[in-house]
Structures are given as C-alpha cells and as structure tokens.
Amino acid sequence: MKKLKNENLNLYLFSNLILVVFLVFGIWKGDFWQDTTVKLPGILAFLVIINTFLIFRETFKTSFSPSESASSGPPSGKFSLCSLRKLISERSNVDYSLLNDILSEFLGMTRDESSALFIAEEKGGFTMIASAGPLSTQITSSRFYLSEGYVILKYPGGLGEEKLFKWDSILTSTVFFSGITHLRARIIPLKGITDIRGFWMAITTPNSRKIAKFDREWLALYLEGILSLVCVQAKSAGNLMVDSKTGLMKYEGFKLTFETEIERSERYGQNMTLMYLKVSNFSNFSPAVKDRVQLAVAASLRDSLRKLDLMFLWDKPGVYAAILTETTPEVAKMVAQRIVSAFRKHISTAIKEMGEFPELSLNAGTATYPCDSSHGTGLADKASDALETAIRKEVPFIAFGEIISTPGEF
C-alpha cells in the first residue's frame, strides 16, 4: 500500500503547535504530573521550538541557500547546449541570418529582453550585424564609435553620449546603466580569428529578477566561433557577387538576398526598408563621367549605411538599390538625407578634379515592411512608385507613405 502524502504539512505542524501551547498552559495552571513539574515545561518548550523551526523551514532554506547566479562555470543539470549544436547541424548554408537565429536561442538561455551583436569597422565605428528581441529606438538609431580607447554610445536627437567600456581591456563582461535613457545592458567583448573584434550587448529590463539559465560569458565563447565562421564565409563568398569597380553587390544576388531579408523580418517581427536610387541623365554621360558618378554613389552609400545594410548595383544604368534592415520609415528618411548630402560632396570633389561636369541629381524612394507591404513583390513595386514620384516632383527623397501627402524636402 502506497503511503498517503500530507497535502499541507505546514497546517498539520501549526495545529500541532497549538495543541502543545494548550498543553503547556494546562500544566502551568493545573495540578497533575507533579513528579515532573520541573522537567516537563522545559521539554514542552523544546518541542515548541522544534515545531516552529519545521513550520518555517522553507523560509530559512530560501534565505540562506546560495543564489543560482552566484555559481561559477557551466551549469549542471538538465540544461545543455544541445539546442545550439542542433541549430548548426541543421543549417544548409552559413550567412548572417545564422547569427540572428543564435541570438534568438540565447534569449531563452539568458532570459534577457533583447540582444544585439556589433563588429568593429576600420574607421573606428561599429556596425550591428545581428539582433534578437524588440530593440528600442535608442539602440537602432544610435551610433557606436571608438574614441580615446573607449567605446562610445551616441544617442540620436542630441541627447548626448556615454562611455560603454574600455576597448583594450580584458575580455570580461561589463554591466552598463545609462544615465540618459532607461537602457540597462550587460556588454561582453568578442574577439574572433582574422582580427575580428566586436561586442555582444544583452539588454535587460530595469526591474528584471530573472536568473539566467546559462552564463553569458560561456555563451560568448560559442558566439566568437560562429562569428568568425560567418565573417570568413561571407568575405570569401562575397567576392564572387561584388562588382569590382564600385564594391557594390551585383544585381544577380538581389532577389535571393531580398527574399531572405523579408523572411527574417517576418520571423522576428522587425521593420525593413527597400530603397531605390537613380541618377538623372545617367545614360547621356561619357564613360569617364559614368565611372566617376558610379564611384560617387557607391562611396555615398558606404558612408551613410551600416555594415548590416545591403547595397546593390542595379541592372538598369544609373539605378541602385539598398536593403535597410530593421529600419522604420522615419529612420530611412534620415539615412536618405545622409546619402544625398554625401553624394553632393563627392560630386563637388569630382567637379574640382575633372573641370566640366554635366548637371545631375540623385533621387531616392523607399517602401517599408510591413507598413507599406507585407510581401516582397508589393514592397518592390511601392519603392519603385516612390522613386518615380520623387523624380517627377523633383525632390531628393520620398517614402511611399508620403505620396498622398505633400513630401518634405531637406
């Protein structure tokens, strides 16, 4: 016969305590067990203490037991890295979407709100190449750069800037609390092969009390290996799909890349903007002017876009395309403004060097997923409509959502 479990042991013990209290009261006031009037009250008092300890044993256990987060090294028990190993084994190709998938897996292990992965550029800036979870505007619209040995976070809208961590310090995690915004994050520096450097920013809520299932620094070891693999693979494969003169990706790679980015944006619930650009009167230029204009557009795109964004040389003369990942219409307008301004500077330099130069302008039009369209074909058509409207109305930029209203110039 199976033993019946006591469903409420605390209630049982508390009832036992009450009975003991009545018994003690009866002994002190009554006139029985006179042979034990000295020893019995002491014994009963001891029983009271024991019962009290048993009642509140769980509280004592919680208060004095060591925290799970204080343990060092990889966790023991049921949890393991099998899900990450399975994620790699099931992949048929290696690209930047793999990093997004890994960061998404990390959210379940670290219980962070969101996270982002940044890599260092040659000019001292940092580009976000992967992310997971809902990122706030203070992250997506901010700039990260290196200054005087520190990684600096510069907020948009003139809010100011803050130091994140010392760049050349030991590769250990740092807790960052913003004094300007509500940002709270743990930052883990990363270093991969071929001098790949960057950092992983794990963003938590201010009042979060969740304990991580797995230490982030152990996960950083795994992330460094995958980051090295993805970057080396992208560099070797990219050489086959990049135009040798401009450095932009060829048109042949646009369709597959665009479909991949649409699927990724849908999977993670993120915005994505498609931008078309066109140089006026491009077909009438001489070969030398065409080459110089192509280089000016390519340089303007590289100066204005992140490494996470994708830039393409189109199949039509003087037309270009850019995929701005995790970008809203408002941010896309700011990016277009930077591109047009940079293009004017590069053309001014070309005029000084070449002398006579034909009159030209650069127009841009955008459409954003999912507010303008939820599928690739519709998004491409609406971005094309926006570009044609910008050319017809002779404005540098217009978004599809602004076609009905009067577009603002900048």
Q: How confident is the model at residue 3 (pLDDT cuts 50, 70, 90)?
A: very low
| Residue 409 binned pLDDT confidence (cut-offs 50, 70, 90) | very low
Cβ burial of 135 (10 Å; 0-12, 13-18, 19+) is buried
Domain boundaries, the chain: 9-62, 82-238, 251-402
pLDDT for 180: 86
| pLDDT-derived band at 74, boundaries 50, 70, 90 | very low
Fold entry, domain 82-238: Beta-Lactamase (3.30.450)
* Residues 343-372: tens digit of each pLDDT: 999 999 888 888 778 889 999 999 999 999
Two tokens at 285?
């230029």
**What is the pLDDT averaged over residues 306-330?**
90
**pLDDT at residue 210 greater than cutoff 70:** no
User: Domain 251-402 has what CATH class?
Assistant: alpha beta
Written as one string, the DSSP assignment of 365-388 is: EEEEETTT-SSHHHHHHHHHHHHH
Strands (DSSP E) contained in 258-342 are 272-279, 310-313, 319-325
Q: Tens of pLDDT along 138-193?
A: 777 788 989 888 999 988 777 889 999 988 877 788 899 888 888 889 999 998 88
Helices (H) and strands (E) in the chain, counts: 11, 13
The answer, yes or no, to whether residue 287 has pLDDT greater than 90, is: no
The listed range with the strongest mean pLDDT (241-250, 301-310, 386-395) is 386-395
Q: Does the structure show a pLDDT above 80 at 390?
A: yes
Strand partners, 11: none
Residue 61 has pLDDT above 70, yes or no: no
7 pLDDT higher than 60:
no
82-238 and 251-402 in the same fold: no
The answer to whether residue 268 scores a pLDDT higher than 70 is yes
Lowest mean pLDDT among 52-66, 119-133, 280-294: 52-66
Q: What is the pLDDT of residue 410?
A: 40
Q: Is the pLDDT of residue 238 over 80?
A: no
Mean of the pLDDT values across residues 331-345?
A: 93
pLDDT the model gives residue 405: 57
Q: What integer pLDDT is reported at residue 24 of this predicted model?
A: 65
